[in-house]
Structure 1
Amino acid sequence: MASAETSTQLMPELACYGLAGHTASPADLVTEAARAEELGLGSILLSERFALKDAAVMAGAAVAATSSIGVGSAATNHNTRHPLVTATMATTLHRMSGGRYALGLGRGIPMLFDIMGLPRVTSAQITDAVSIYRKLWAGESIVGHDGPAGTFPYLFQDPSFNENIPVMLVAMGDNTLRLAGQVADAVVLHTFMTDAAVARSVRIVRESAEQAGRDPSTVRIWSVMATIEDSLDEPARLRKLAGRLATYLLGYGDVLVRLNDWDPAALERFRADERVSAHGGAFDATEDLDLLRHLREILPDEWLACAAVGDAAHCADRIKDQLDLGADSVVLHGATPDELAPVLAVWRANRDPSRFAHLTPNPGRIHR
């Protein structure tokens, strides 16, 4: 575990993802979480994939490997677990971490849920599920619930509970951004968003919170910026840049193009490319350097420019850019803590600690 001295040096405005992308070695998370804390990252976020990245297992490992860094599931889905199971996961991690854990939810990919035989996620379901969690965390019993999240005769945890567990929502489209402003404690935006899209998303969340009668400043907004520093070798740089964006475009390219006001015709050209259509699997996991170079050539430079690519000083400047757009915090996405170390060193040397004194390491909560 990190020392108390390390915990006083955390930069709560920054986070990374643990096991970014694909992994065959989930045990690496233990080392990554400890290293993130050692380097001063304020939080480590964990994205779930249905192979070797279970949200509950990863969060437990990250909590156990650290002593002060925030840990957040960003994201799991409410429809893949019974609400009592999810609520119990969160209370266990909340108590285990001493209040460092935040439960992050997302809509997921509709096509995947179709294949799995699960209902597609709606805003009404998320709202209902969050209400159930919060009632259980407050020690309430729920009798005869029949709502969008499901029908449950009787739900309870412990009448002594009064657990203040923040809920984050991963959001990309306008409807989810508005929902985040209404019901979430924090919102995590998406990778490869233009500056204009980030600023617009911040505005939507804040306006929605105000319309819901909430204090907009209490909703923590995380920008997510792919960060590719020059010291990485060429295959790694290409996988984290062109490979990662190409993977997103195959999964939900129409949403990303609409969000960023990009040219839909460019997306169609990308999808029609022979090498793209012939490839099976995720581009950000391929070892085919020639294919990665091809992706870099066919993807518009404007789209790739959303990432922080260059030397450590440039990447650190891009962090400031995201904060100046209105985000409270920035997730440096797609890189391990060690890969981020040069950027973190530059940022630490130039940051104004007083600007972030109000932030807590818990990624789902803004005020200490």
Structure 2
Amino acid sequence: MTDGVKYGPNRPHDTPLNMRCSRTKHVIPELGAYVLPGRITDVRPGLQQAAIGERIGLGSVWVSERWETKEIGATLGALTQNTSRVTLVAGVTHFGTRHPVVLAGMASTLQALSDNRLVLGFGRNVAGMWRDLGVPTPVGAAIKDYADIFRALWRGETVSYDGPAGRYPRVRLADTPAVAPPLILAAIGPNSLHLAGAHFDGAVLHPFLTTDGVARSAAMVRDAAKEAGRDPERVKIYAEVVVAPDCSDDQITNIVRARAATYFTLRDLARHIITANCWDPSPVHQLLADSRFANLELQAGTPEQLRARSLEAVSLLPDDWISTGAAIGSAAQVAARLHEYRAAGADEIVLHGTTTDRLGPLLKVYAKS
């Protein structure tokens, strides 16, 4: 794929009869949102959430992969038939868990089903997970090579490769997509931010970055693109922001605080967020000194047990980490916060934590502000 490939639909297309009611006059292309945020047991509500997101004017709909209940091919495949306009983003899947031909073919199929509305996002995840799966941890060189392999396959080339991304003696796709999907990379530390700027079409920044943290991260991505001889303005910056517009205290706890606990109890991830925001790391050191709170996202337990543990963990963190790392308050206050993230360097903002059925009033206020 070349830098010039467009994001989202590449041409007008007929809307399926059953989806014509979902058209909206007011589209906000720079705003997207996750459907099915967090752990779920039933993927089917995501179909309605995506349709609502399209109707209220979102530019994109995102799905974060969980193999048990949100496998990205199956979930996005369903969404291609339940939407007609929004960009559909795999946000994110992973290198190395599928053979390159399988993943490239899956993306090609999703492009055909969606009329070229797919954006394919990747992440590194945590090293412990790869060890448990018996999959090599993807190092920077492998990530760069995976991206090159996919683009070559989508161009119709035969790939013969032996390197950090694996050994592939002779692989090719007999049929290629009309438009190769953009490749974006979830990036939080300096190495992944550099990789995103030098080799990908976009960088997906982690939730709970402050506006200053987004500005610093965006600058690192743009600098890496420039060093690689690329146009830095063609590398999109996606800021993920946990939002709780017009929410009660209980809703803020469920949407924002519990989610913060899952991030800050992963030691490596917490370190990168804290560094990007220039925060004092001592609260996390104290938090993780208690073994009950280590890696909450990966712990076993009932939803009730994990929620109680998460709330206890987040109570040990400074309140301003929550207030400056997310967008909380009235719809007008949240909209103003989103504009601040845009001014900090975010080309697009991915709304996280609140489902699309509760985002309509926020989008109306944002569009007017």
CA contact (8 A) 1:16 1:331 kept: yes
Match of 1:239 in 2: 254
CA contact (8 A) 2:30 2:59 kept: yes
Alignment partner of 1:265 out of 273, 282, 285:
282
CA contact (8 A) 2:265 2:293 kept: no
* Cα distance change, pair 113–289 in 1 and its aligned pair in 2 (3 A): closer
* Cα distance change, pair 310–145 in 1 and its aligned pair in 2 (3 A): same
1:178 deviation in Å?
0.7
* Cα distance change, pair 162–297 in 1 and its aligned pair in 2 (3 A): closer
SS at match of 1:53: coil
Superposition RMSD in Å: 2.4
CA contact (8 A) 2:265 2:294 kept: no
Match of 1:45 in 2: 62
Query: Using the alignment, how far apart are the partners of 1:217 and 1:335 within structure 2?
Result: 30
Query: Using the alignment, how far apart are the partners of 1:151 and 1:267 within structure 2?
Result: 40
Give me the TM-score of the superposition, normalised by structure 1: 0.88
CA contact (8 A) 1:244 1:283 kept: no
CA contact (8 A) 1:138 1:163 kept: no
Query: Using the alignment, how far apart are the partners of 2:173 and 2:137 within structure 1?
Result: 27
Alignment partner of 1:90 out of 101, 104, 107:
107
1:193-251 CA distances to partner (integer Å, 9 max, x unpaired)?
122210011101111111111111111111111101233x4433212211111111122
Alignment partner of 1:147 out of 138, 159, 163:
163
Matched, 1:331 2:347: no
> In terms of mean alpha carbon deviation, does 173-182 or 298-307 score higher?
298-307
Match of 1:362 in 2: none
Query: Using the alignment, how far apart are the partners of 2:246 and 2:177 within structure 1?
Result: 48
Match of 2:15 in 1: none
Larger RCO, structure (CA 8 Å, separation 6 or more): 1
* Cα distance change, pair 259–29 in 1 and its aligned pair in 2 (3 A): same
SS at match of 1:42: strand
CA contact (8 A) 2:207 2:241 kept: yes
Query: Using the alignment, how far apart are the partners of 1:119 and 1:290 within structure 2?
Result: 34
* Cα distance change, pair 31–190 in 1 and its aligned pair in 2 (3 A): same
Structure 1 stretches lacking a partner, 5+ long:
351-368
Match of 1:9 in 2: 26
CA contact (8 A) 1:74 1:104 kept: yes
Match of 2:197 in 1: 181
1:179 maps to amino acid: L
**Number of equivalences:** 348
> In terms of mean alpha carbon deviation, does 275-284 or 240-249 score higher?
275-284
Query: Using the alignment, how far apart are the partners of 1:43 and 1:278 within structure 2?
Result: 30
Matched, 1:300 2:315: no
1:131 deviation in Å?
0.7
Matched, 1:315 2:330: no
* Cα distance change, pair 295–343 in 1 and its aligned pair in 2 (3 A): farther
Match of 2:368 in 1: 349
Query: Using the alignment, how far apart are the partners of 1:162 and 1:337 within structure 2?
Result: 31
Structure 2 stretches lacking a partner, 5+ long:
1-17
Alignment partner of 1:54 out of 58, 61, 71:
71
CA contact (8 A) 1:247 1:284 kept: no
CA contact (8 A) 2:158 2:170 kept: yes
Matches within 5 A, 1:280-295: 281=299, 285-286=303-304, 294-295=312-313
Give me the TM-score of the superposition, normalised by structure 2: 0.88
1:145 deviation in Å?
1.5
Match of 2:7 in 1: none
Alignment partner of 1:201 out of 213, 217, 226:
217
SS at match of 1:75: strand
1:86-122 CA distances to partner (integer Å, 9 max, x unpaired)?
1001111111111110111111111111111111111
1:166-209 CA distances to partner (integer Å, 9 max, x unpaired)?
10111101111111111111111000012221001110111111
Query: Using the alignment, how far apart are the partners of 1:62 and 1:303 within structure 2?
Result: 34
